[in-house]
Amino acid sequence: MSTPVPHSQYDPTSHLLLTPEDSDAQARVARLREIGIGNAPVPEFDEFARHLAHVTNAPFSMVNFIDESRQYFAGLYAAGRPGVELQPESQQPPVGRTMTRDQGYCPHVVVRRKALVLEDVCDYPRFAGNRVVDEIGIRSYMGAPLIDWKTGISLGTICVVDTDAHPWGRAGLETIKSMAQQLVDQLYVLEDRGRI
């Protein structure tokens, strides 16, 4: 017989909002250090993010690497705001190159190791309650994992977001998956040259 949970501790929707458990976090951090990904923007990744935004017709794009406690945007593009943070039109504080692991959808992509397309996050109860919806105004998301073929670890993501619902469609999914592979290839080239 199960013990009843006190009402004050019970939230029937809490399982929908949790950031997924990440068993690869320590191995990912070690590999990112080995590659040379740290706390500095990578100009090539900023340019990649700009191109990704253009190809997908999205106002915001990121190259995102994830450790045990946070996400770091080594590549960032914000339409009309080159070199600055994502900042909603509301008076909410801007989001810079880092976010906690419970903000956004990239941690789900990393753990699932699969692309994720949310044309309107409000259509998905699991994702609609995420902090980025209210804090930043994110309404749609599309991301794909960056799988390190040397270790099999998902190192991070590339993603695009919009403050409006965005019909990414099958073409968008194929594009983001293909471009994720291109970014992994670029990552290895930069690693080999010691340029990260």
Separation CA 120–CA 164 (nearest Å): 8
Answer yes or no: pTM beyond 0.85.
Answer: no
- Segment (H or E) for 190: helix 169-193
Strand pairing report for 140-147 and 60-66: unpaired
Encoded tokens for 24: 């690869």
Torsion, CA 37, CA 190, CA 63, CA 175, rounded to 10:
-150
Kindly list the domain boundaries of the chain, sorted by start residue. Answer: 22-78+90-193
pLDDT tens-place values along the chain, 196 residues long:
444 444 334 334 444 446 678 889 999 999 999 888 877 889 999 999 999 999 999 999 999 999 888 889 999 998 755 444 444 444 433 447 888 787 778 888 999 999 999 898 878 676 766 666 666 778 889 999 999 998 999 999 999 999 899 999 999 999 999 999 999 999 988 888 776 6
SS3 (DSSP) at 61: strand
Class of domain 22-78+90-193: alpha beta
